[in-house]
Amino acid sequence: ALFLCHMSGYEEIQDVFDLITHNAARVLRIEDRYGIEEGKPADFLILDASSAFEALRLIPARLHVFKEGREVATTQAARSIVGGQEVTFAMQGSGGAI
């Protein structure tokens, strides 16, 4: 996935993100028994990122980690302070929830 991101342009980042997230089971040919659907085990993360682009660019904190549908870990979001002011490293205009 990292190689795909490196070799892709901004416009393709959402496709790469889809490939490694909700299309992963299909790519691995296990979508009949794995995924985020009732009755199937689901492993997923909630990331501290405003968009797919930011999730891949910043490698953000995993705020919540779920294994087989149960939360197994949580992390407090970090804050960056520069010169007494809180700052973010998100790019302007890269918004859009993931």
The Cα–Cα gap between 12 and 30 comes to 25
Residue 97 pLDDT level (bands cut at 50, 70, 90): very low
Domain boundaries, the chain: 2-87
β-strand 44-47 against 85-87: which pairing, if any? unpaired
Do 50 and 96 meet the contact criterion of CB atoms below 8 Å apart?
yes
pLDDT digits (tens, 9 = 90+) for 41-93: 888 889 988 888 888 888 888 999 999 889 999 998 777 888 888 887 766 66
Rounded to a whole number, what is the distance in angstroms from the first to the last CA of the chain? 17
Residue 40 tokens read as 């199937």
Mean pLDDT value across residues 3-29: 77
Classified by CATH at the fold level, domain 2-87 comes out as Urease, subunit C; domain 1 (2.30.40)
Do 63 and 46 meet the contact criterion of CB atoms below 8 Å apart?
yes
